[in-house]
Structure 1
């Protein structure tokens, strides 16, 4: 698309949005609310208008915009009250390099401060309701050492015969938990998912993709402060992590769409 056309389309979108935005701002300012956010509905409408002009294809624009909005603009997971949750899954976020150094492929990393904060969140949940906890080892470490918590299953990394450590992905953790829950006499049940603020939505989606009903526990705030010393570069700062997480969400969507549209391959 030429620069002139981009400018023209942007100007049209801005012109179309201006009356609505001006009206919203006027009402909000009259009510004493400074600089209210644009509604999701209004944003989606203008995204469709812009993408329609860009692609010259309204059907595709209408189909793609909800995906753009969901992955790029909606970072909140579905929630359920604590009394509707049967067990908790704690997904780790970041770590710290080994204090004593050594071969990083064979020396386990330190859990790090963010995972301690995730353990604190789980401890708060358990103080209100006793349910089993399945936590990635970085979180489980603090649940046991700091809180002496019972009914905690630590999800460990895979150690090869030569001592090489393979850390589990979010999906790898979910896969292990669902296998453990299959033997539960009452069925798998509903998972209460605990994860870092910008990670927790994908944690819920990944848990669901593994066949579990999954929600973040309602009214519990997830940790959201990044650790600039994390051993995982993508978890050191927010802008970089959001790109990482959106990349992962697009990969999940791609896989699901291919399976949906071409089930026979």
Structure 2
């Protein structure tokens, strides 16, 4: 298959509905379109290596063409874990290294989503601080643990990564009587899959809440440049997915270093 033919398959068959936010079929149904097989065939021809192509094709498919996490009913969860997305520069100005950013409109939408899920399943909430602020101020919500940035003695602020948030929650859940339980993960639409996977990588059971849509409108005024525009964010998220995947594959192939 020529490269332009392969590109046509991606555009017509799968890529457009998924990336534009339409409601695509289940991942298994998408696989039935033959895209993974096309990818493997093209890679085999390009690499002249069937085994390498067979190993790479499902990884490329997972990172680039499957953007939805596994779901479970909210009734199955023991706590809600909400990851922030973007922010706004400090309203009063000042040194952004030492003056906390504003939560911004996207995190308010994420807080609204948490509230909808919480109305269905009244369980503890662990929320990145940008979301937690709205849960308390807008909804007066109780039993909310705010995951805060790290502040050094000199006042320097270090904001947590997706993994940093998941790590803090995983540590907190170790102290819960009866076990850590299952997380109902809330996250921005294009960040959601990685939120669930990162939570699992930290040793927690985690799912997206079935039947709930996630916020998906980008904020062009976000203080994080990579969260202002969808095409740029998707590249950023794929880079993060590849980095995590690389670490896993290396550890599996060479556990002793």
TM-score, structure 1 length as denominator?
0.87
Question: Which residue number in structure 1 is paired with residue 207 of structure 2?
Answer: 215
**C-alpha distance in 2 between matches for 1:257 and 1:151:** 38
**What are the equivalent positions in structure 2 for 1:222-261 lying under 5 Å apart?**
222-261=214-253
1:77 aligns with 2:69: yes
User: Match for 1:144 among 111, 136, 154?
Assistant: 136
* Structure 1 unaligned regions, length at least 5: 1-7, 22-35
Give, in whole Å, the separation in 1 of the partners of 2:62 and 2:120: 32
- For 2:44 and 2:136, locate their aligned partners in 1 and report how far apart those are by CA, in whole Å: 54
Match of 1:181 in 2: 173
How far apart are 1:40 and its partner, in Å? 2.7
The answer to whether structure 1 residue 123 and structure 2 residue 109 are counterparts is no
Match of 1:57 among 37, 49, 59: 49
**CA deviation string 1:81-128 (max 9, x = no partner):** 011000000000000000100000000000000000000000001111
Q: Which moved more, 1:110-119 or 1:38-47?
A: 38-47
Deviations 1:224-252 (A, max 9, x none): 00000000000000000000000000000
Residues in 2 aligned to 1:102 and 1:259: alpha-carbon distance in whole angstroms: 43
Distance in 2 separating the partners of 1:57 and 1:219: 42
User: In structure 2, what is the Cα distance between the partners aligned to 1:46 and 1:153?
Assistant: 46
**Correspondence list, 1:93-132, <5 A:** 93-132=85-124
C-alpha distance in structure 1 between counterparts of 2:89 and 2:31, whole Å: 40
The answer on 1:157 being equivalent to 2:149 is: yes
Query: Quick one: distance in 2 between partners of 1:13 and 1:192?
Result: 37
Match of 2:31 in 1: 40
Aligned length: 239
Equivalent position SS for 1:88: strand
* Deviation sequence 1:160-188 (CA, Å, 0-9, x none): 00000000000000110011100100100
Structure 2 residue matching 1:148: 3-state secondary structure: coil
Give the gaps of 5 or more residues in structure 2: 13-24
3-state SS in 1 of match to 2:234: helix
- Alignment RMSD, CA only? 1.9
Q: Calculate the TM-score normalised by the size of structure 2.
A: 0.89
Pair 202,39 (structure 1): closer, same or farther in 2 beyond 3 Å: closer
CA contact (8 A) 1:13 1:49 kept: no
Provide the rounded CA distance (Å) in 2 between the counterparts of 1:39 and 1:11: 21
Aligned residue number for residue 169 of structure 1: 161
State the structure with more CA Rg.
Answer: 1
